[in-house]
Chain A
Amino acid sequence: MSIFSIGLSGLSAAQTALSTTSNNLSNVYTEGYNRQLPILGESYSNGSTGTGVSVDEVQRQFNSYVTEQYNDANSQTSALESYQSQVSQIDNLLADSDAGLAPLMQDFFSSLDDLSGAASDPAAREGVLGSASSMAAQFRSFDSYLGDMRSSLNGQLEGTVTDINNTATQIASLNDQITQARAKSGEEPNTLLDKRDKLVSDLNELVGADLNVQDGDNYNINLENGQPLVSGTRSYDLEAVSSSEDPSRTVIGYRDAAGNVNQIDDSAFENGELGGLLSFRSETLDSVQNQLGRMTAVLGSEFNAVHEDGVDLNGDDGEAFFNVGSPRVMSNSENDGTGGITAEYDDVNQLTSSDYRITATEGGEYEYERLSDGKTGTLPDPDTGEMTVDGVALNVTGTPEEGDTFMLQPTRTAAQDFEVAITEGSEIAASSSADGDDSNGDVGSGNNENALALLDLQSEKIVGGTSSVSDAYASLVNDVGNTTNITQVNLDAQSGLTEQLREYQQSESGVNLDEEYANLVRYQQYYQANARVIDVGSQVLDSVLQLR
């Protein structure tokens, strides 16, 4: 009665095919779903006549090579996306040409020009104070915008780290479940495999991750620097911690097998959201805030120097016109020694927009590294020589131990303290001090020589000895514009590539409704045909029985 069993095997295969197709249809929009195909095979037969059909397996259409390429590309896209969304905030900030820094600096110098035309006019003096305050406020507000970005970035890093840890934990747990499922049924646990591959894809969006498949079973995942994130059924946690070099900076820590948290250098992360955020901070945010701080440090100090050379309307020597911030130095919290370093501006013209790492070396000397370009240099023992680096004078207190490090940020916080120091218009030192030479006039209300000298700072090349303050601002605009532009172009290219790989990956693993519908019709007819086989078998049997 093989015709019945043959028909039955066909009915059963058709049912499996129909449910596989239905499952494909119902999961057409399911993230991470990989299309499944029923693989049919002939049933075992030891004679020339076949014994029917069997379902060998329900195969998951998954190409690990393409998926890896896609995940890799997606990880880079994700890094560029998070970089782009950050940098475009600064780009937008600079886009407002009316409220930007440039017009306010121009207003300030223009008010000084008015003052030079009417040095004793109280209205002109109030004008200078007003425009100076607006300018300083704008510098501070720009700086606080960047500061807000910095703290929001810290928060985003924490969130991303939590997501990475959750994802890694789930992958490790799926490694376990998949091994057990395979052992139990001997079949591929397609749903679990889909889940795990989806999580790997998600993880790549968060952080660059290298996948190694162990014995065709376990997924082992390493970070870009090679440290393991998932190893078999165990996962390792990342932690968002305060940098030992700069407590205001959230960095990524790695908890090793012994339970110690080691800080990972930002540069170890390039891909994924995490890589994008960290690169943005070290490449752009630090530099923009430092450049802004440098502008205020240079403008403020140079202006003060000229102002202090002059004499005000009351006949008193000019005082500091602006309050300017000072360089910041932080001792590494992991230092062994008791030493500290203090810093002050020495020659503001030499300031760069970089940060510096200073390390105590043997023999009481110090080594510094300029972080922007990696240039290193040696500083003398403070007992024997003056410690100055790029316009900053350093002073050591206490006793540092060899290997202790210090983070010097010459201009990072300069803009946040930038403000007008004097309150009365009469305190503006517009006149030059008496030089004892009768051919020049004396100090007097109409003496505008110092106002003219202050006005000259508008175009003087005081920033790095090569640019005026306005040039420095223009170059800041150029830097940010360029970075945003390049990021956008790279993002476009990378998105295109990712889209192509996604299409390629989907062409194997994705569901096409038309195709599935056609299959549905096909398998329906297949089912009907096999039912017909049983019907025929039954009729054949009936005919034989009727002969009796």
Chain B
Amino acid sequence: MRISTVTMYEQGVSAMNRQQADFTQVGQQIASGKSVVNPSDDPRAASRAVGVSQSLAVNEQQESSRTSARNSLGQEESVLNSVSDAIGSAKSMVVQAGNGTLSDADRESLASDLEGTYETLVGLGNTTDGNGTYLFSGYQDNAKAFSRTDAGDNVDTIGYEGDQGVKQQKIDSERSMKTSDTGSDVFMKFSSGSEYIAEAGEGNTGSMTFSGPDVRDATAGGYGDAYEIEFTENGAGDLEYTATNTNTGDSVTAEYTDGETIEFGGLAMTMEGEPADGDSLSVTQGGDMDEQQASLFKTIGDTINALRQPVETDADQAALDNTLSTASRKLDASLDNVLTTRASVGARMNELDALDDVGGNREIAYEQTRSDLVDLDYNSAISDYMLSQVGLQASQKSFADIQQMSLFQYLN
């Protein structure tokens, strides 16, 4: 076939263009370190890389969420440690106060010590984080969690100002975690399994003191319900007590005997001394108590107020003893609640660690996938580079040679 001179040029040039394009393409890959420079180089890989990058970004987001969750929880954990220490020291002061040989002055000095602990606890309840937001206010984190109201001669009363909002953070694709606990849950609640606590009625005037309640039979009917025990003088001048199940309204009435152990709803209580007509006792499971009853501040505040009352009569002594006995149980329950919360915080932090491990592995897997998709295999790229260089040089050489081959050189 005839080859026109134009064809020889055109083919030589287009061969060089092709080789140059290949050469530049490999050069571009090497310079960028990517095998997929443009989406058209490998559309599927390019589009999957978008997805993998998104997963990587989400993974990174969740990692930073976990860091901030860990900071919050770490701070809470350290506050809870201090709270449990404070409860422990309050408890030992309450035990000390129960020593019958103390004078009013001794008790006043204990009350002062206890007031220090009280202030410490209020301070802990109002802890702020690095941003100045309150740790225990729920969603109202710009406001102090606990406010105080002047109660005259008595210790200031403390009220919860936050709400029940518990902040969550998205720490994994399918997991949101609570990163805080509310002040009312920490300071004004007993955990649900907490034992029974008895409280003497506020207006009691007799000298009756109680011990217990102790659990005798947790399977008994009415176990778990709350009870109200009332002492009344019957017409014959004898004292009777009526134990009313406040959940069902059922009640039993029997004659009161000093030092006798009475039983109701699987519980046993022993009462000593002489109750006055109308005196009462309430017996409630800790977990059922409301914020007011379960408030750690109120428990300690009541104790301080009681310690400051001079003890002159048997009734005074009984009131003090009963307050201390109730406070002792409540402090146990509060401590239990704080430790439970602390355990839950610890468990959450452990979960964060575990998720960090998972997230770390995931990140490596994603990075690997993305790299497989779009990163360059330098070995093969450099080999391609050399090869296309040879190709380009060969096409240039052949073009030059063909141009030199002309009949004009040989004639004349």
Contacts and interface: CB of A to CB of B under 8 A. Distances in A.
A119 B65 CA distance: 13
B169 A116 contact: yes
Contacts of B51: 470-471, 474
A456 B174 CA distance: 11
B169 A117 contact: yes
Nearest to B411: A521
Of the listed residues B37, B39, B54, B138, the one surrounded by the most CB atoms of chain A closer than 10 A to its CB is B39
Given A441-B164, A442-B139, A480 B6 contact: no
A506 B164 CA distance: 88
A477 B140 contact: no
Size category of the B interface is 35 or more
A440 B182 CA distance: 11
Contact of A513 (B5, B37, B49): B5
Of the listed residues A481, A507, A509, A511, the one surrounded by the most CB atoms of chain B closer than 10 A to its CB is A481
A421 B139 CA distance: 26
B50 interface: yes
Interface string A117-145: 11111000000000000000000000000
Given A116-B170, A445-B139, A446-B141, A103 B163 contact: no
B358 interface: no
B406 interface: yes
B148 interface: no
A121 B69 CA distance: 15
A441 B40 contact: no
B5 A446 contact: no
Interface of chain A: mostly helix, strand, loop or mixed:
helix
A471 B165 CA distance: 34
Contacts of B62: 113
Interface string B370-412: 0000000000000000000000000000000000001110010
B342 to A, nearest CB: 21
B250 to A, nearest CB: 31
B42 interface: yes
A3 interface: no
A97 B61 contact: no
Contact of A444 (B7, B60, B165, B407): B165
Nearest to A122: B131
Interface string B163-191: 11111111001001000001000000000
Given A446-B138, A477-B47, A517-B408, A120 B61 contact: no
Nearest to B45: A481
A268 to B, nearest CB: 28
Interface string A489-514: 00000000001001100111111111
Contact of A120 (B39, B43, B133): B133
A478 B39 contact: yes
B112 interface: no
A510 B164 contact: no
Of the listed residues A106, A471, A475, the one surrounded by the most CB atoms of chain B closer than 10 A to its CB is A106
Contacts of A507: 1-4, 7
A161 to B, nearest CB: 29
Interface in B1-16: 1-7, 10-11, 14
Contact of A106 (B54, B164, B165, B170): B54
A474 B139 contact: no
Contacts of B131: 118, 120-121
B251 interface: no
A265 interface: no
B163 A444 contact: yes
B141 A444 contact: yes
A121 B72 CA distance: 14
Given A103-B53, A444-B165, A91 B64 contact: no
Interface stretch (A164-172, A256-264, A447-455): A447-455
Contact of A481 (B46, B163, B170): B46
A454 to B, nearest CB: 11
A251 interface: no
B105 interface: no
Interface string B234-253: 00000000000000000000
A110 B43 contact: no
B2 A515 contact: yes
B38 interface: yes
B144 to A, nearest CB: 13
Given A446-B139, A459-B58, A514-B406, A478 B5 contact: no
Contacts of A474: 47-48, 50-51, 54
B218 interface: no
Given A439-B164, A446-B141, A473 B7 contact: no
A107 to B, nearest CB: 8
Nearest to A30: B6
A117 B68 contact: yes
A505 B43 CA distance: 37
A114 interface: yes
A444 B5 contact: no
A444 B2 contact: no
A249 to B, nearest CB: 26
A440 B165 contact: yes
A481 B14 contact: no
Contact of B140 (A92, A446, A473): A446
A51 B298 CA distance: 142
A476 B7 CA distance: 41
Nearest to A476: B47
A291 interface: no
Contact of A109 (B10, B61, B176): B61
Contacts of B49: 97
Given A94-B39, A444-B142, A502 B408 contact: no
B64 to A, nearest CB: 7
A2 interface: no
A438 interface: yes
A126 to B, nearest CB: 14
A91 B176 contact: no
Contacts of A117: 64-65, 68-69, 169
B95 interface: no
A481 B42 contact: yes
Interface string B23-58: 000000000000001111111101111110110011
Given A444-B165, A448-B167, A452-B168, 9 more contacts: A95-B37, A444-B137, A446-B141, A481-B41, A506-B4, A508-B2, A512-B2, A513-B5, A517-B411
9 contacts: A29-B6, A92-B38, A94-B46, A441-B163, A444-B137, A447-B167, A480-B40, A488-B40, A503-B11
Interface of B: 1-7, 10-11, 14, 37-44, 46-51, 53-54, 57-58, 60-62, 64-65, 68-69, 131, 133, 137-142, 162-170, 173, 176, 182, 406-408, 411
Interface of A: 28-29, 35, 88, 91-92, 94-95, 97, 102-103, 105-106, 109-110, 113-114, 116-121, 431, 438-449, 452, 455-456, 458-459, 470-471, 473-475, 477-485, 488, 499, 502-503, 506-515, 517-518, 521
Smallest CB-CB A-B distances: 5 pairs: A441-B165, A510-B4, A481-B39, A481-B43, A446-B141
